[in-house]
Structure 1
Amino acid sequence: MYESHFGFSGAPFQLNPDPSFYFDSRGHASALAYLRFGVYQGEGFIVVTGDIGAGKTTLVRTLLGGLDRQQVVAAQVVSTQLESGDLLRAICTAFGIAPAGKTKAELIASLEAFLTAVAASGRRALLVVDEAQNLSLEAIEELRMLSNFQLEHHALLQSFLVGQPELRKLLESRAMEQFRQRVIASCHLGPLDVVETRAYVEHRLRRVGWQDRPSFDDAAFEEIHRWTGGIPRRINLLCNRLLLGAYLGNSDEVSATLVMQTAREMRGEVGETTLVAAVSKPAAAESGAGDDPLPALPAEAVRELHVAGVSLQRPIVCLVDSPASYMKACAFASESARQPELPAVVTFNGGLQADVRLPGELAEVLPRPALDVHLQARGERFGPRATQVLAAFDQLLLELQPAAVMAIGSNDDVLACSLAAHKAGVPVVRAEAGRRSGDPFGADSNAILLDRLATALYTNELSTHYTLYREGIPADRVHCFGNLMLNLLHLAVPAAAEAEATLQRETAAARGLKPQDGYVLVTLQFEPESTRVEVLSDLVSGFVAMPPDLRVIWPMQDETRSALERVGLGRWIKNSKIDALSGLGYLERLGLLQRANCLLAGGDADLAEEARALGVPVVRLVAAGHPAEFGEAGAVHEVQRALALVGEAAARTRPRQEEAGYWDGGPAARMAEHLSAWLWQEDAAIHPQASLRS
């Protein structure tokens, strides 16, 4: 569409690999040199890895296109989710061999006869296996056995394995020792840097006759790299849309603003809240079968790059385990970016990406860390999960060499990673130290161990100092800076929806409610099949019996509605002072919380920490045996007791909230300032010739 408008001879950013568009970056040039060396050797295996979209297939096709067909007979296998027998058939098909039979022995005999004939004619056979990370160990072993075919003293078959980084992990296994001895060279394709990204874009444009129309300003190239992470396929996707956008907008210029707008539109179209990109070491090649591969996280791990163009060497790694802890890491990252002496902030989550996902609206409000790493570990058994998490985190320590690790969460993954950092000599900082629920053998066990591991402990309030003192933590390691939730609220509250606007969305919610009227906000939720009828009945009837001037606002999930309908209480909700609202997002519920007289929460403590930071009284109705939070006097197990506490809290005058004009940066600023000075001292003591400030 836009090609003729700009005078191009073709599409410059097509996704299909095309050797005519091959770009000779440092990494690709090195990899191509190793491949050509391998062809010259005519034996063994060469392993080429790279992230999705890094240009592996284009590289291989460039190599194959430059081969002398009179000397080399080349074949390529792409579909590798095959067992060893199926792989043999695929290889025969790729070489154009008609097998003499269907058994494995007959397939091998047909292939050996073909390879012998090729060698007898003075040519060599080359097999390229693409997407090799999908091969089973048995299939790789089959390839190794094929490398044993010889005519006199010359190998009949040479193989190149091309795949994603997890291929290296596969080849590290003990069962692959014999195979690794046959690898004569290996190389890895990393992303392009900022300068190479610009050269890549201009190279592809010139291939189709670009005459600086449309023009790209310097900042546009920086934004392209920032949004794509230097991955060629992502660059192609974004630049294709940029040219289309310039054409539709009748513009002859691609600006940084257009890049940002287009990238955000594309991100929303595919349902991403962040740019997902792999961050690798600079492209490097290693020769020799005994070389160790580059560190790589497991294939299922996800890396979300939010801030490109910053150094990710020696960052501060924040360990998170929940949306709340991740939000606090975002708040800390926002303030630490103001400290020129502090490195970038990276978060590590041992669980699923969804376990720490921000509420949708906050993704546009909160500044993000430079990089998020989600291991995607599954399973609840401590032993197997800890092994997986520790192996991945150890690789992250090797790759990033963090200046410090900050434990914001406290689950088993956070504990395991903190221990690994401590053993590796990396300083461990403990946020929210000293918080206890009163169960030292249950919920508190991880918190106690984390506090003992930490080199520096940051507490939310002075009362926790005594807890740490009783447990033998030296006072000079403990610093009271406040709750990171205050920073989060400073960022989120200005974007929160007005309570009146939210209530006006439904007629029932707006009836008779004046701006000065108070209400109880309820975030307690129930499961339809597991909730006792008397609990629901006592709760609803208690709400109805509250004073006439005190309403109940209940953002209700579908499961809770179903539970109430199941026991016949749905009509009570519709015809009483209880206003049940549906489909509210985080910022809408935060707006309601600001005006509430009291919050009634459940076991998940939804909005409880935000309420305490805002000075809103909190009551939690929790199941018997459910641990309370540190210093939480309002956690009860009986409905009547919970309702009594709600009534008392709603009758009290709320403390005055902090004025935004007096905001001093809050706990995160104090933490960042201390961490900047403390890390410099630690680093200078260990590396006097190369500190963080050098």
Structure 2
Amino acid sequence: MYLNHFGFAELPFSLTPDTQFFLNQQSHRDALNTMLVALQHCEGFIKIVGEVGTGKTLLCRILLARLKHRFVTAYIPNPYLTPDELKAFVAQEIGAQYDPSMQTHVLLTSIYHKLMQLAHNGKQVVLVVDEAQAMPRETIESLRLLTNLETEKRKLLQVVMLGQPELDHLLSRPDLRQLKQRIIFSEYLHPFSSRGVREYIRHRLDAAGGRADVFTPSALWLLSQGAGGIPRLINIIAHKALISAYGRGLIRVGVMQVAKAIADTAETRWTGKLLAWHCRVGAYFAPFGGRA
């Protein structure tokens, strides 16, 4: 595609969460530090909330990469599980004795014994739940009951829940108030500021092996406004703008390419306005080769 044209070693704006491209912005740094400190002190539940596309899954991967040595981790990317499926998953992830034919109380005993063994060996068990707002109410209650397993000194199982704002609404249900009371630490992932967007784009361009000035300053400003500081939208718009610039043989991405990319992205708030603006400006510059 445009890799050779711009001198990239790999795609700088892939939607696949890649820890190589993680930029430790203030909001994400606060959330990561909160999780690490809370887990070091064996706190129970930790909650991280962020809008769609703010980088929760990438933050999960960064956290899991940091939890080494004395931690045993289990990651649930799709939490739409039944209570029995949750227990089976935890048992298998921590290495507890498990058989599909086990009765619930036998399985819980097996999980407890394995957790005690791990604790005796100096290991902490952390369950990381991504997209936690999709977890059924009965499964959340089952998760809470699992965290009742403890010694006289500390919890045997710690839980990090990451989800969209709907997670807060879910946990506000009266029948889930016991779990909500156990959430010791909570953080909210905020969209990037305009300056944060510029740093994010330049960081990804550099990490991909390209020049940091591929986007003009005005293009960066427009991209920041169109994406609203949401990392996933930044990636989508920047990728489309690079394709547009490559298609026209440009070595830098300008306002016109970003405007076209925003107009082509349904999730942005400026789509309709920029589509009309892009058509008008494009028509104006057409006699001059369209080099706006």
TM-score > 0.5, shorter chain as reference: yes
Partner of 1:147: 147
TM-score normalized by the length of structure 1: 0.38
| Bigger helix share | 2
Partner of 2:87: 88
Aligned partner letter, 1:99: Y
1:281-360 to 2 correspondences below 5 Å: 305-306=269-270
Superposition deviation, residue 260 in structure 1: 0.5
1:35-46 to 2 correspondences below 5 Å: 35-46=35-46
Aligned partner letter, 1:86: E
Do structure 1's residue 105 and structure 2's residue 105 form an aligned pair? yes
Q: 1:219 to 1:67 in 2, by over 3 A?
A: same
Provide, for residues 269-288 of structure 1, a one-character-per-residue CA deviation record: whole Å limited to 9, x for no partner.
xxx4xx45xxxxxxxxxxxx
2:130 and 2:161 in contact (8 A); partners too: yes
Q: 1:7 to 1:105 in 2, by over 3 A?
A: same
Q: Distance in 1 between matches of 2:20 and 2:276?
A: 43
Partner of 1:32: 32
Q: Distance in 2 between matches of 1:103 and 1:201?
A: 52
Superposition deviation, residue 363 in structure 1: 11
Provide, for residues 519-565 of structure 1, a one-character-per-residue CA deviation record: whole Å limited to 9, x for no partner.
xxxxxxxxxxxxxxxxxxxxxxxxxxxxxxxxxxxxxxxxxxxxxxx
Aligned partner letter, 1:26: Q
Q: Secondary structure at the match of 2:102?
A: coil
1:10-159 to 2 correspondences below 5 Å: 10-68=10-68, 70-100=69-99, 101-159=101-159
Q: Distance in 2 between matches of 1:82 and 1:75?
A: 14
Superposition deviation, residue 364 in structure 1: 6.8
Q: 1:114 to 1:4 in 2, by over 3 A?
A: farther
Partner of 1:256: 255
Q: 1:363 to 1:189 in 2, by over 3 A?
A: closer
Structure 1 ranges of 4+ moved more than 4 A: 362-366
1:77 and 1:91 in contact (8 A); partners too: no
Q: Distance in 2 between matches of 1:106 and 1:19?
A: 39
The alignment-based identity, stated in percent, is: 33
1:412-491 to 2 correspondences below 5 Å: none
Partner of 2:284: none
1:373-388 to 2 correspondences below 5 Å: none
Q: Distance in 2 between matches of 1:117 and 1:260?
A: 58
Superposition deviation, residue 64 in structure 1: 1.3
Q: Distance in 1 between matches of 2:228 and 2:274?
A: 19
Q: 1:53 to 1:37 in 2, by over 3 A?
A: same
Q: 1:125 to 1:50 in 2, by over 3 A?
A: same
Do structure 1's residue 233 and structure 2's residue 225 form an aligned pair? no
Q: Secondary structure at the match of 1:151?
A: coil
Partner of 1:187: 187
Partner of 1:216: 215
Q: Distance in 2 between matches of 1:167 and 1:91?
A: 21
Superposition deviation, residue 96 in structure 1: 4.3
Q: Distance in 1 between matches of 2:93 and 2:162?
A: 16
Aligned partner letter, 1:249: R
Q: Distance in 1 between matches of 2:199 and 2:184?
A: 32
Q: Distance in 2 between matches of 1:82 and 1:21?
A: 31
Partner of 1:206: 206
Aligned partner letter, 1:218: P
Q: Distance in 1 between matches of 2:21 and 2:95?
A: 28
Partner of 1:245: 244
Superposition deviation, residue 98 in structure 1: 4.3
Superposition deviation, residue 143 in structure 1: 1.3
Q: Secondary structure at the match of 1:38?
A: helix
Superposition deviation, residue 91 in structure 1: 2.2
1:99 and 1:106 in contact (8 A); partners too: no
2:5 and 2:251 in contact (8 A); partners too: no
Q: Secondary structure at the match of 1:150?
A: coil
1:88 and 1:107 in contact (8 A); partners too: yes
1:84 and 1:139 in contact (8 A); partners too: yes
TM-align CA RMSD: 2.2
Gaps of 5+ in 2: 278-292
Q: Distance in 2 between matches of 1:141 and 1:73?
A: 22
Superposition deviation, residue 142 in structure 1: 1.2
Superposition deviation, residue 259 in structure 1: 0.5
Gaps of 5+ in 1: 277-304, 308-359, 367-694
Partner of 1:326: none
1:281-680 to 2 correspondences below 5 Å: 305-306=269-270
Superposition deviation, residue 233 in structure 1: 0.8
Superposition deviation, residue 152 in structure 1: 3.4
Q: Secondary structure at the match of 1:158?
A: strand
2:79 and 2:135 in contact (8 A); partners too: yes
Superposition deviation, residue 137 in structure 1: 2.0
Q: 1:91 to 1:242 in 2, by over 3 A?
A: same
Aligned partner letter, 1:222: W
Provide, for residues 82-140 of structure 1, a one-character-per-residue CA deviation record: whole Å limited to 9, x for no partner.
22122212222333444144322222122112211111111111110111101122211
Q: Distance in 1 between matches of 2:276 and 2:240?
A: 26
Structure whose CA Rg is larger: 1
Q: Secondary structure at the match of 1:161?
A: strand
TM-score normalized by the length of structure 2: 0.88
Superposition deviation, residue 211 in structure 1: 2.4
Aligned partner letter, 1:162: L
Q: Secondary structure at the match of 1:74?
A: strand
1:260-279 to 2 correspondences below 5 Å: 260-264=259-263, 266-267=264-265, 272=266, 275-276=267-268
Q: Secondary structure at the match of 1:154?
A: coil
How many matched pairs? 276
Q: Secondary structure at the match of 1:222?
A: helix
More contact order relative to length (CA 8 Å, sep ≥ 6)? 2
